[in-house]
Homo-oligomer: A and B are copies of this chain.
């Protein structure tokens, strides 16, 4: 089951954009299109992508600005610059801003497709670590991800599938803030967008299971505007 990879294409020349989109779609990617910098940032905030193809000369904000802005929030997503400028200077500026690579127009289509594929593959590895522990000791409680149960002095609690997934994700990222977007992507999948309240409900459940005081949680911390963070004790 290979997922569909999502690419954000930021390019103001409509004709060129159409060519690129067509070719990427032929390769099986889903292409989302933004025609200027502001639109690109908006889309980046709202949706998840596996790769950003970013022209440098675009209306409202340069590609460089867009890239720097994105890098403040997300270090991992691969960014590939497209540009007509091709001096060492320009390429260096792009890379400095946080891009992974730089392709000059006019470009060889096959080269573009190859780079896209390489970068997406890389992105998957950097974000998709699959660690495989299947149980976890939390204080005097014992979480078993094989049987989906929490065991404590008072007995057992059956976790549901989604509960188990989310709990495991948070524990894997112990001590790191996991953004709501990342949670949605990893637990719910790419094209599903349940209301943001849904996540809270699960956290609520966890706090109940582990008998936390929500005003001053020990394990499941909310980080306003971002997501949640699990810490152990």
A92 to B108 Cα, complex, angstroms: 8
Chain A residues 106-123 with CB under 8 Å of chain B are 107-108, 110-111, 114-115, 118, 122
Chain B proximity mask over A87-128: 1 for CB below 8 Å, otherwise 0: 011011001100011000001101100110010001001101
A133 to B71 Cα, complex, angstroms: 12
Q: By the criterion CB–CB under 8 Å, are A75 and B133 in contact? A: yes
Chain B residues, Cβ within 8 Å of A108:
88-89, 91-92
Which A-B residue pairs are the 5 nearest by beta carbons?
A88-B108, A161-B225, A125-B126, A95-B114, A146-B176
* A2 proximal to B (CB < 8 A): no
Q: By the criterion CB–CB under 8 Å, are B186 and A68 in contact? A: yes
Could you tell me which A residues sit within 8 Å of B by CB distance? Answer: 37-38, 41, 60-61, 65, 68-69, 72-73, 75-76, 88-89, 91-92, 95-96, 100-101, 107-108, 110-111, 114-115, 118, 122, 125-126, 128-129, 131-134, 146-148, 158, 160-162, 165, 168-169, 172, 175-177, 185-187, 189-191, 223-226, 229
Copies of this chain in the oligomer = 2
Q: By the criterion CB–CB under 8 Å, are B38 and A190 in contact? A: yes
Known A-B contacts A126-B126, A160-B224, A190-B61; A146 and B177 likewise in contact (beta carbons under 8 Å):
yes
Chain B residues, Cβ within 8 Å of A175:
146-147
A106 to B29 Cα, complex, angstroms: 35
Chain B residues, Cβ within 8 Å of A146:
175-177
